[in-house]
Structure 1
């Protein structure tokens, strides 16, 4: 493990939220500048992923940069909002060519913001791309549109990385990029070196995957460009505080990253609807630090020997001993 692990968070972690019941929100609205100031209160947080366009008002890159500087934060990625009402029928897969072009233009603007802040990547979360009903779409055309949209952007911006964050569903009933395997198939078809995966631990759980297995698969294909963590009850993308529900699987996920020498930012993608956002981030980062200590205590040779025999109980005992003695 690196001596100084970097921790990050999506800036939306520090926004306020609405849902279809509390349509008046779970708190007063905040601008991106307010959210950055809150993020600056989190212990050991050093990077943030920013939505684009910036929410809560008209803000320039320079204004956002000043807020980042006063809070000691830098930018890891920019997430263009290609999932709003404008894109209700899709971004890359929208049947209207004009809306597809609008998505391309918005992401191209976001690419410029990535360059401005010296960030690592443009994050693509095409949450409205997909379908809801049988016979609604031609699946061949839909998949081709998904791949063509990403490929055009990656070709136009070879100096930048584009990461696809897959998810089984929501807001679309079935998202086009729904799993690690399907996303990797698409990326391999695109065939460009600057397209990869951002693996969301909770999306992997929600999709019935093993996040450790998903990470290994993405690493084996050289396509794991980023990751973020949270937790859920597997039935929905709850975006709960990391480590609160599936600590052993989260430990295995980071063990998989570590054994492959994957040392990127450990990033939070949490939605603390009813919790204090700063405390939710601190709680998660404290648990991630515990995992880092546990990785240093883990009997790796013992784990490997147990795995060579598919000895689940011995492997779990070793993992539990390292994790639960690291508090």
Structure 2
């Protein structure tokens, strides 16, 4: 059996949530340090991705570091909040140059925090950069604003990686980085070695990509820096527990990573609105351990031969054998 991967999670997994219906939230507010303690209670997590600024937390970075240390965790990434009301018309692409500058200043500040915490990367989720209506924007100008802003930011910090987390829509009707292919086009145009992709499995599903294909494309260009995993019904970014809907496509995704020797963190990006957040993480990791075992036992030579003939049935027999035997006898989450 090969060595288990490192497991991580976005710290928001352990927060409480609001939507336009439950505006009072699906539970009491959970502070940053308590979120970190909840992540530590999972038992199998090694790293967390932290939002910045630390909303509702008026303590020090030393306190955050101490909370991480007492839970055996490390911050792998900082995600600057460039998608709040201030940036409702965009961050990199805001029509107001003062807001664009404010966004860049926030991202530089977040990068400084990432360096202090020893993070691997800064994650850029440009959810407000895009458009909602035909004729609303000049697409040439919008694209250039995005690329120019990214280049200014990323080139200023060559010692740390940056990743773009693409998504087809929400909150904007059209987000400027909606797919693996278009994101790669922008990254290649910028041409900096420390800018890559974070492939969110659910965003890929929701964008009607095949996540394994999207991962292979990013790997072929040397730009798959990180992944987030979850699940959805393909009609919305539901952020459900990984493996709860698209079990076989999840296996294909991780098989593609294994086949290419990709060694990154297997990171959760789940929103357990109504579920216990610690148990949701434990169940997800239980499933991911089964995927890891299945990767070890699948007959890759036979699979390659079946794929060389495009024989879907032969391939699926091998996949079913690997998955079902690996999931049998799984320990229940603690």
TM beyond 0.5: yes
- Does the alignment pair 1:17 with 2:17? yes
Q: TM-score, normalised by structure 1?
A: 0.99
Q: Distance in 1 between matches of 2:4 and 2:150?
A: 34
> For each residue in 1:246-267, what CA deviation from the matched residue of structure 2 results, as whole angstroms up to 9, or x when unmatched?
0100000000000000011000
Partner residue in 2 for 1:58: 58
Q: For the Cα contact (< 8 Å) 1:168–1:177, is it kept in 2?
A: yes
Long gaps (5+) in structure 2 = 328-334
> For 1:160-171, what aligned pairs fall within 5 Å after superposition?
160-171=160-171
After the TM superposition, list the runs of 4 or more consecutive aligned residues in structure 1 that deviate by more than 6 angstroms.
none
Q: For the Cα contact (< 8 Å) 1:2–1:263, is it kept in 2?
A: no
Q: For the Cα contact (< 8 Å) 2:4–2:292, is it kept in 1?
A: no
- Does the alignment pair 1:48 with 2:48? yes
Secondary structure in 1 aligned to 2:151?
helix
Partner residue in 2 for 1:91: 91
Q: For the Cα contact (< 8 Å) 1:30–1:56, is it kept in 2?
A: no
Report the alpha carbon displacement of residue 43 of structure 1 after superposing the two structures with TM.
Answer: 2.3
Report the alpha carbon displacement of residue 236 of structure 1 after superposing the two structures with TM.
Answer: 0.3
Long gaps (5+) in structure 1 = none
Q: Distance in 2 between matches of 1:219 and 1:123?
A: 18
> For each residue in 1:75-112, what CA deviation from the matched residue of structure 2 results, as whole angstroms up to 9, or x when unmatched?
11000000000000000000000100011010101111
Report the alpha carbon displacement of residue 61 of structure 1 after superposing the two structures with TM.
Answer: 1.1
Report the alpha carbon displacement of residue 117 of structure 1 after superposing the two structures with TM.
Answer: 1.0
Partner residue in 2 for 1:138: 138
Report the alpha carbon displacement of residue 324 of structure 1 after superposing the two structures with TM.
Answer: 1.1
Report the alpha carbon displacement of residue 59 of structure 1 after superposing the two structures with TM.
Answer: 2.5
Partner residue in 1 for 2:256: 256
Q: Distance in 1 between matches of 2:185 and 2:316?
A: 32
Q: CA RMSD in A?
A: 0.8
Report the alpha carbon displacement of residue 2 of structure 1 after superposing the two structures with TM.
Answer: 5.5
Q: For the Cα contact (< 8 Å) 2:4–2:289, is it kept in 1?
A: no
Secondary structure in 2 aligned to 1:304?
helix
**Greater CA drift, 88-97 or 53-62:** 53-62
Q: For the Cα contact (< 8 Å) 2:19–2:25, is it kept in 1?
A: yes
Q: Distance in 1 between matches of 2:68 and 2:160?
A: 22
> For 1:1-327, what aligned pairs fall within 5 Å after superposition?
3-327=3-327
Q: Distance in 2 between matches of 1:183 and 1:169?
A: 14
Secondary structure in 1 aligned to 2:219?
helix
Q: Distance in 1 between matches of 2:55 and 2:282?
A: 24
Secondary structure in 1 aligned to 2:82?
coil
Secondary structure in 2 aligned to 1:144?
helix
Q: Distance in 2 between matches of 1:318 and 1:2?
A: 19
Q: Distance in 2 between matches of 1:61 and 1:4?
A: 31
Q: For the Cα contact (< 8 Å) 2:231–2:238, is it kept in 1?
A: yes
Q: For the Cα contact (< 8 Å) 1:29–1:56, is it kept in 2?
A: no
Report the alpha carbon displacement of residue 55 of structure 1 after superposing the two structures with TM.
Answer: 2.3
Q: Distance in 2 between matches of 1:120 and 1:49?
A: 10
Q: Distance in 2 between matches of 1:56 and 1:253?
A: 36
